[in-house]
Amino acid sequence: MTASEPMWQKEMKHLVMDADTLSQQLDIPRTAFIASDFPLKVAAPFLSRIRPRDIHDPLLKQIMPVDAELHKDPRYTADALDERPRNLSPGLIRKYHGRALLIVTGTCPLHCRYCFRRQFAYNENRPSRNQWRSVLNELRHDKNLREIIFSGGDPLSAPDRYLSWLANMVADIPQVERLRIHTRFPVAIPQRVTSELLGWLSCLSLPVVMVLHINHSNEIDQSVITALHKLRHGGVTLLNQAVLLRDVNDNLTAQQNLCERLFAAGVLPYYLHFPDRVQGTTHFSLSVRRARRLYRQMLNHLPGYLVPRLVMEKPGAHAKTLLMPLNE
């Protein structure tokens, strides 16, 4: 490590990526884990919020490869959202009108077992700077374009100098009005919110919306609250999208606690996603009926502004599908 290396990069070099270490650190039997093509990966700050000796911990369930992943269901596929045909050139996905999604990096600070991109072709999506230039030049011709989304992987895995370069190129497209960044870093490694990150975000000529991905209130400790506070004071709009996961957050108490804790940390709940049908994730699934019943309870127990929209992403659809309109 060099003297000037930021703490978050140090954390990225020491991610826990093997079951032996994880089982020792959490005092959980090694036999509970399986080997997977989508390897175990978790950053230490996230790991520190998992309760030792608790195989049912809601954070552990999100990162632990278990034998249920081997269960095959023909309705579950590798590309559940049919992104491949929309991956128009390296780094670029076009799904929705007026928006373009950039795969900034394939790297993440943790591997979420339910991830819909767990089998994404990241090796075909590593554009060079010149390729980014031509992608963005191409996007200039889309006069309907309003928003660019940094996605991945987790885009904040990339160094700030690189992100700042790409973001300023985006800001140079006259019709683009917003930059959106999807990230799990503020909960995975809160130290990622550095003065360097805040510096380029606040200098950007576009408003920045950060869509966090937090599924359970236990993910939010004081270090996360501090990082979110810095982002908010840096002028970033903070929203959250959670995934509804069986045995992780599929009950009223978990959802209520999450929404209230998010709001206390300055984040608005935005989406609650019905889980995508991705191979290896059947153990997280629940019925639409059950999701709707839970959502009705949320509507009855939370003020409207704290209730995220319950949505499902259907492959090929031009927008997310509302599973329960608020007035139903």
Stretch that binds ligand SF4, among 90-98, 136-144, 151-159, 214-222 (CB under 6 A): 151-159
From 95, 180, 184, 192, residue interacting with ligand SF4 (rule: CB under 6 A): 184
Exposed / middle / buried, residue 150 (Cβ in 10 Å: 0-12, 13-18, 19+): buried
Residue that the structure tokens 């153990």 belong to: 283
Site string for ligand SF4, 204-243 (x = CB under 6 A): ---------x------------------------------
Instruction: Please tell me the distance from the alpha carbon of residue 179 to that of residue 199, in angstroms, as a whole number.
Output: 15
Which stretch, 3-11, 149-157, 279-287, 310-318, contacts ligand SF4 (CB under 6 A)?
149-157
The reply to whether 261 sits near ligand SF4 by the rule CB under 6 A is no
Identify which of residues 47 and 173 has a Cβ nearer to ligand SF4 in the complex: 47
* C-beta closer to ligand SF4: residue 110 or 310: 110
Closest CA to 260 of 301, 226, 227, 313: 301
Query: What gap in Å lies between CA 252 and CA 293, rounded to an integer?
Result: 10
The H-or-E segment that residue 93 falls in is strand 92-93
Nearest partner of 100 among 73, 58, 137, 129, judged by Cα: 137
Q: Which of 91, 127, 152, 186 binds ligand SF4 (CB under 6 A)?
A: 152
Q: Is 115 in the site for ligand SF4 (CB under 6 A)?
A: yes
Choice from 49, 111, 192, 261 touching ligand SF4 (CB under 6 A): 111
Q: Which residues have C-beta within 8 Å of that of residue 183, sequence separation ≥ 6?
A: 154, 155, 156, 210, 211, 212, 213
Q: List residues near ligand SF4 by CB under 6 A.
A: 108, 110-112, 115, 117, 152-154, 184, 213
